[in-house]
Structure 1
Amino acid sequence: MSGRTMVAWAHKNAISAASQKPGRAMLPACLFAASFAMFVTAFVDPAPALDAPAVRAPETSPLPMFKNPRAALRAGLESYHAGDASASVAALRYAAEGGEALAQWKLGRMYADGDGVGRDDAKAYEYFSRIVEHFAEADPDPRERSMAANAFVAVGLYLRDGVPSARIEPDLDRAFELFRYAATYFRNADAQYHLARMYLDGAGVKRDLRQGMSWLELAARKGHPQAQAVLGGLMYSGEAGGGAAQKARGLMYLTLARDAVAGGAGEQWIIDAQAKALASASDADRRAAVALLEDYLRARN
Structure 2
Amino acid sequence: MRTFSASGARTGSNRQFFISALFAMLALSAAMPARAQTDPEAAAPSAAPAPQSAADVASQFSNLLGGAEGGVSSADMIAILEDAAKNGQPLALWRLGEMYEKGLGVKQDQARAFSYYSRIANDNANTPPRSIEADIVARSFVKIGDYYRVGLPSAGISANQKQFRALLLHAASYFGNADAQYRVGLLYLDSKELGVNPLQSARWFSLAAHKGQASAQAVLGDMLFNGSGIAAKPVEGLMWLTLAQRATIGSKDEVWVNELATRAMSVATPDQRKAAIDAADMVRQQIPAK
The residue aligned with 1:273 is 260
For each residue in 1:144-175, what CA deviation from the matched residue of structure 2 results, as whole angstroms up to 9, or x when unmatched?
11111111122222323445787653322112
Kindly state the Cα deviation for residue 65 of structure 1 after the two structures are TM-superposed.
Answer: 8.3
Matched residue type, 1:258: Q
The 2-side partners of 1:136 and 1:231 are apart by: 29
The residue aligned with 1:264 is 251
For each residue in 1:224-243, what CA deviation from the matched residue of structure 2 results, as whole angstroms up to 9, or x when unmatched?
101101111111221142xx
The residue aligned with 2:222 is 233
The residue aligned with 2:47 is none
**Number of positions where the alignment pairs a residue of Structure 1 with one of Structure 2:** 238
Residue 137 and residue 285 in structure 1: after superposition, are their counterparts in 2 closer, same or farther (change >3 A)? closer
Specify every segment of 5 or more residues in structure 1 that has no aligned partner in the other structure, as ranges: 1-60
Q: Which one has the largest radius of gyration?
A: 1
Residue 250 and residue 141 in structure 1: after superposition, are their counterparts in 2 closer, same or farther (change >3 A)? closer
The residue aligned with 1:147 is 136
The residue aligned with 1:88 is 77
SS of 2:189's partner is helix
Q: Which has the higher contact order (CA 8 A, sep 6+)?
A: 2
Question: Do 1:75 and 1:88's aligned partners in 2 also have CA atoms closer than 8 Å?
Answer: no
Specify every segment of 5 or more residues in structure 2 that has no aligned partner in the other structure, as ranges: 1-6, 23-57
The residue aligned with 1:282 is 269
Kindly state the Cα deviation for residue 94 of structure 1 after the two structures are TM-superposed.
Answer: 3.2
Q: Between 152-161 and 77-86, report the one with greater CA deviation.
A: 77-86
Residue 92 and residue 216 in structure 1: after superposition, are their counterparts in 2 closer, same or farther (change >3 A)? same
The 1-side partners of 2:97 and 2:228 are apart by: 38
Matched residue type, 2:144: V
Identical counterparts, % of pairs: 37
- What are the equivalent positions in structure 2 for 1:11-50 lying under 5 Å apart? none
- The TM-score with structure 2 as length reference comes to 0.69
Residue 147 and residue 300 in structure 1: after superposition, are their counterparts in 2 closer, same or farther (change >3 A)? closer
Matched residue type, 1:107: L
SS of 2:196's partner is coil
Matched residue type, 1:157: D
The residue aligned with 2:279 is 292
Kindly state the Cα deviation for residue 141 of structure 1 after the two structures are TM-superposed.
Answer: 8.3
For each residue in 1:62-98, what CA deviation from the matched residue of structure 2 results, as whole angstroms up to 9, or x when unmatched?
899869x987744777654222572412321233234
Residue 139 and residue 285 in structure 1: after superposition, are their counterparts in 2 closer, same or farther (change >3 A)? closer
The residue aligned with 2:88 is 99
Matched residue type, 1:280: V
Residue 269 and residue 141 in structure 1: after superposition, are their counterparts in 2 closer, same or farther (change >3 A)? closer
The 2-side partners of 1:140 and 1:231 are apart by: 25
- What are the equivalent positions in structure 2 for 1:1-301 lying under 5 Å apart? 73-74=19-20, 80-82=63-65, 83=67, 86=74, 87-136=76-125, 142-162=131-151, 168-241=157-230, 244-300=231-287
Matched residue type, 1:94: D
The 2-side partners of 1:98 and 1:70 are apart by: 14
The 1-side partners of 2:149 and 2:235 are apart by: 34
Tell me how large the CA RMSD over aligned residues is: 3.3
Question: Do 2:190 and 2:196's aligned partners in 1 also have CA atoms closer than 8 Å?
Answer: yes
- The TM-score with structure 1 as length reference comes to 0.67
The 2-side partners of 1:164 and 1:208 are apart by: 33
The residue aligned with 2:40 is none
The 1-side partners of 2:250 and 2:154 are apart by: 30
